[in-house]
A and B are shown apart, each in its own frame.
Chain A
Amino acid sequence: MELTGAEIIIECLKAEGVDYVFGYPGGAVLHIYDAFYKQDDVQHILVRHEQGATHAADGYARATGKPGIVLVTSGPGATNAVTGIATAYMDSIPMIVITGQVPKHLIGNDAFQEVDSVGITRPIVKHNFLINDVNDIAETFKKAFYVATTGRPGPVVIDIPKDITAEKIAFEYPAEIKMRSYNPTVIGDDEQIRRAVDLMLKAERPMIYTGGGVIIGNGSEQLRTFTRSLGYPITQTLMGLGAFPASDPLSLGMLGMHGTYEANMGMHHSDLLIAIGARFDDRVTGALEKFCPDAKIIHIDVDPASISKNVKVDVPIVGEVAPVLDTINALLSKSAEQTNKAALEKWWAQINEWRAQDCLKYDRDSEIIKPQYVVEELHKITNGDAFITSDVGQHQMFAAQYYGFDKPRRWINSGGLGTMGFGLPAAMGVQLAYPDETVACITGESSIQMCIQELSTCKQYGLPVKIINLNNGYMGMVRQWQEFFYEKRYAMSYFDALPDFVALAESYGHVGIKVEKTADVRPALEEAFKQKDRLVFLDFITDREENVYPMIPTGAGLNEMILV
């Protein structure tokens, strides 16, 4: 039987086990939408802005590990998707973005709603395709899913001219695909692994530093075994939180610009750094010339280009995190050699001294609502087991510092690109993937307004996301930098006219609650989480000038933190 290009696209998605597509229609994709109409295997979620579609697909992917799927029209549909594609790219999230294109004979003519989508997205995708022939659709989709989900994952864009989606051919989906130019399977080099294990056992002041790669690579179990068998301190990046439980005493919390004192001091004074699925981002290392002056560095990563990019490492291990850690765990359990107990005891004593600084303390008796307190209460009421998405700013850091993630894939935020507007649409993707789980979006009054239109999508699909708006009346993170580095000249970091968020939520058909006193925080949260099938928008009026501490100012080393 012959199918149209549009029907073939649906068949490809079915063959890949896709359940949701996030999208928005337009001229160039109308054949595809018509094909959607005629089936109900793949559900299409209609967002309110294409950026929302990309973040929703991204949130879905981060929570499930499966690729997120986006469908947008040509021209403005594609350009609106760009921010979300870049967001996914920076955090290595698997995503397939189908963009409509003008018919082939019009390409290059500045046709209505024509942009060079492949050209525009080239630097922010793992790979992209422009399909020229209806016969290529199936193979291109097979390749796209393969590339997006293997090795270091990332978004893949497929640009499809409209005429092709109407042409008819027989459909056959390739059972497997081989690409001579792409071979993502790498297993760690045995010799390097042995060298690494040797260094690990001899270390006197070891530090395990892990990133989002452990979560993306599903290496959380292995990391737990590894860390506990050595008994070494571990710190995780913003992207890595949850891979190792925050509640485990071996965990020193997050490191980097707003990391804990003990994590950053531990990094700085370590003699062996074991970096796993992390990429030595500038927000983590601080000033490179001051970074870990005494440490030998082992780096395990699936992407060879991440190794020795910013910081030169001594033992590079290129490979997928989970199998590499399996090998290391096996070697450790067989090894006759023991870790250096005496040295480690001293090291832990030192770390506990740093810990005693209690760098995350804040005024718990404040009558004005402290944002940290809201996050701590949220943790309690959700038993630390919710999916938490966030936007970008102080609230994101408070969420990372105070929620205490014990499981992977529960903490969903835009770390690499730092995209305001990510939180709400991402929460929709998570909630669709896990309809029975608790999903909360921790946001700020500025960030939430960047994709506020998605409240309407939540209504349409009955997504009971809980929005925790930490409303300080400022673009808090910008204001903090202006306070510290621009003598409190608060240029453009506040809005003169904020909406009434309660009324706004209600106008979209949701529940809104405004909370103004510390004493009301807990009851408001209780009230909100009781409403299992409603979206509740909690507008917490928080301390206007609270700052995120500790902080490493730009240009400083990890041992040069500003404490409260």
Chain B
Amino acid sequence: MVYELDNSEAVEMKHIISILLENEAGALSRVAGLFSARAYNIESLTVAPTDDPSLSRMTLVTTGTDEIVEQVCKQLNKLVDVVRLVNLTDDVHVERELILIKVKAENEQRDEVKRIVDIFHGHVIDSSDTTYTLEVTGDSEKIDAVLKALEGMTIIEVVRSGQLGMGRGAKGIM
């Protein structure tokens, strides 16, 4: 009857949640505040206005047991600013993340870095005498793989966008 009793199945999983919310001051802090107040964790969070500037689209990645994530979704749905929420994990969907990597690239390293970028279908988007700045997009696994491939190099800085997600097929979130 109680969670504690069926703990055997209580595995923590990563969930990717897509949220359409009013593009209003404070909406983002309501979402973020909910996570800190209820001790849920946020792995990544991206937000920006949509084609309709009165709406923002947010993609949020969290980990937890099914029960916790169900509560997370219910509590998010309760926020007055949230127009629509979909747990993408429940269905087929696409995920993308973008990473920018500034890496040391001198002498023969310059070719090596270029080769790695090509393998991951990325681009060099800036360069200096001693560095390249790379851009790669893909799902999280691919982004992790790029970083692994560059392990032998000297990485100066990295910025990841956090995951974006969208359901597959013809239907939109509304």
Contacts and interface: CB of A to CB of B under 8 A. Distances in A.
Given A181-B81, A311-B1, A130 B25 contact: yes
Contacts of A291: 1-2
A308 B70 contact: yes
B33 A147 contact: no
Interface residues of A, number: 27
Contacts of A126: 80
B1 A119 contact: no
A16 interface: no
Interface in A291-341: 291-293, 295, 297, 303-305, 308-309, 311-312
Given A119-B29, A123-B37, A305-B75, A181 B83 contact: yes
Interface residues of B, number: 24
B83 A180 contact: yes
Interface in B34-61: 37
Contact of A308 (B4, B67, B75, B80): B67
B22 interface: yes
Given A291-B2, A308-B70, A311-B1, A179 B25 contact: no
A118 interface: yes
A292 B80 contact: no
A289 interface: yes
Given A122-B29, A147-B80, A181-B81, A295 B74 contact: no
Nearest to B3: A312
A433 interface: no
Contact of B21 (A181, A293, A303): A181
A312 B80 contact: no
Contacts of A127: 80
B30 A293 contact: no
B82 interface: yes
A302 to B, nearest CB: 11
Interface in A89-145: 118-119, 122-123, 126-128, 130
Contacts of B71: 305, 308-309
A312 B33 contact: no
Contacts of B173: none
Nearest to B72: A305
A130 B2 CA distance: 41
Contacts of A305: 71, 74-75, 77-78
Contact of A181 (B1, B22, B67): B22
B140 to A, nearest CB: 29
A288 interface: yes
A288 B77 contact: no
Contacts of A308: 67, 70-71
A288 B4 contact: yes
Contacts of B159: none
B119 interface: no
A485 interface: no
Contacts of B74: 304-305
Contact of A312 (B1, B22, B37, B75): B1
Contact of A122 (B3, B4, B21, B33): B33
B26 to A, nearest CB: 6
Contact of A297 (B1, B3, B4, B78): B1
A123 B36 CA distance: 10
B170 interface: no
B28 to A, nearest CB: 11
B2 A311 contact: yes
Contacts of B26: 118, 122, 128, 130
Contacts of B82: 181
A37 interface: no
The 9 closest A-B pairs by CB, nearest first: A305-B74, A127-B80, A181-B83, A289-B4, A288-B2, A123-B37, A182-B80, A304-B74, A305-B75
19 contacts: A123-B33, A128-B26, A130-B25, A130-B26, A181-B22, A181-B80, A182-B80, A288-B2, A288-B3, A288-B4, A289-B2, A291-B2, A293-B1, A304-B78, A305-B77, A308-B67, A308-B71, A312-B2, A312-B3
Given A118-B26, A305-B71, A305-B75, 16 more contacts: A123-B33, A126-B80, A127-B80, A180-B83, A181-B22, A181-B80, A182-B80, A288-B3, A289-B5, A295-B1, A297-B1, A304-B74, A305-B78, A309-B71, A311-B1, A312-B2
